[in-house]
Amino acid sequence: MRENMNLEVILQEHGVEYIDSGHHHCHEGWIQLNCPFCTDGAYGWHLGYNLETHRFNCWRCGKHSVWEVLNALIPLPKGALYKLTQEVRRGAPDTKPQRVVVRKALPKAPLGTGPLDSQHKRYLRKRRFSPARLINEWDIKATGHLSGEWSWRIVIPIYDEEGNIEAYQGRTISKSVKPKYRTSEGAPSDLLYGIHRAKGDAVIIVEGVTDVWRLGAGAVATMGVDWGKEQANRLRRYDRRYIAFDPEETAQRRAEELARWLAFFPGVTEIVEDLRTDPGDLSDNESVDLMRQLNVREK
């Protein structure tokens, strides 16, 4: 028997059609097949195979094992199918890789960064946040009127898992200052705000820093709905992953895409439904109840 025969070779040798590009269901790192379980293998390219994890998932009917798929697609005796299944599985990588971090010089805080003054505290209280708590728990600071593009912002340090500062984000407190958020130059593409306090086996994935402030330790922000694969790779190591993006249509669509991506990896991935508002606008009682229901907490 040949060593390390991959799925694509097996499909080609047995005349099973598949695609690796040119369709909206097909993404980098995947191949797509017509699902034999929900479309009789006739159309749609809904069944995806992840080339990294060696796992199948259908966008319509969910996960399927390698054995199930080969048994449905290839008319061979069970002994021969078992051998093919073992070939596909051989060499499958660890699905909880360690993150390799190349240390760089710590980013410098924006010019003029210092303690919060009365304007910043008033802005936070207006949004029902306690300035003292945010200073103590999240180490926020501020800029005044002499910081150029960073003027009149709350300065938010973003830490990695080990507690090293990776970047800074600035949130304006003035409607006339644009853009609303500014991130320090050269920031890594896999930033996840709050990950340094997500020490348990579960995480609740939100959009922005204020969502993390409201929910507390165990909440991690992708810094917007346009999450990237690098961020998702850092999130997949958690055993339980709950996605709580804002309730508007675009955010929910991106939440579903992230859920489909994470669902290929061991553990539980769920979208938190029925949120009436952004997580950052929940009441303190509502946020405590949500974290308790999901059993997400700092350990």
User: How do the pLDDT tens digits run along the chain, 299 residues long?
Assistant: 344 467 888 888 888 999 988 776 677 778 899 999 887 778 888 888 888 778 888 877 888 888 889 999 998 888 888 888 887 776 454 444 455 555 556 789 999 999 999 999 999 999 999 999 999 999 999 999 989 999 999 999 999 998 999 999 999 999 888 899 999 998 999 999 999 999 999 999 999 999 999 999 999 999 999 999 899 989 999 999 999 999 999 999 999 999 988 988 888 999 998 888 999 999 999 999 999 999 997 65
> Token pair of 69, please?
């798929």
What is the pLDDT, as a whole number, of residue 4? 46
Residues 195 and 299 in one domain: yes
Residues 115 and 40 in one domain: no
Residue 212 lies in a domain: yes
The distance in angstroms from the start CA to the end CA of the chain is: 49
Residues 197 and 282 in one domain: yes
Task: Check which CATH number belongs to the domain holding 156 and give it.
Answer: 3.90.980.10
| Residue where a domain terminates, one of 136, 155, 188 | 188
Residues 211 and 181 in one domain: no
Burial code (b: 16+ CB inside 10 Å, e: under 16) for 248-278 equals: eeebbebbeebbebbbbbebebebbeebeeb
| Residue where a domain terminates, one of 89, 123, 153 | 89
What is the pLDDT, as a whole number, of residue 273? 87
- Residue at 113: amino acid letter: T
Residue 72 lies in a domain: yes
Residue 104 lies in a domain: no
For residue 197, which of 212, 217, 216, 224 has the smallest C-alpha distance?
217
What is the pLDDT, as a whole number, of residue 299? 55
Residue 248 lies in a domain: yes
Distinct helix (H) and strand (E) counts, the chain:
9, 12
Residues 169 and 272 in one domain: no
Task: Supply the DSSP symbol for 61.
Answer: T
Q: Is there a contact between 52 and 29 (Cβ–Cβ < 8 Å)?
A: yes
What is the pLDDT, as a whole number, of residue 67? 87
Residue 99 lies in a domain: no
Residues 155 and 167 in one domain: yes
Residue 94 lies in a domain: no
Residues 223 and 294 in one domain: yes
What is the pLDDT, as a whole number, of residue 80? 85
What is the pLDDT, as a whole number, of residue 2? 44
Residues 202 and 299 in one domain: yes
Residues 199 and 173 in one domain: no
Residues 238 and 280 in one domain: yes
User: Does the pTM exceed 0.85?
Assistant: no
> Number of structural domains, the chain?
3
> Token pair of 51, please?
């080339």
What is the pLDDT, as a whole number, of residue 111? 92
Residues 200 and 151 in one domain: no
For residue 155, which of 191, 192, 108, 199 has the smallest C-alpha distance?
108
Residue 151 lies in a domain: yes
Q: CB-based contacts of 100: which residues, under 8 Å, 6+ apart? A: none
Residues 202 and 229 in one domain: yes
Give me the domain span that covers residue 83.
7-89
| Residue where a domain terminates, one of 157, 188, 219 | 188
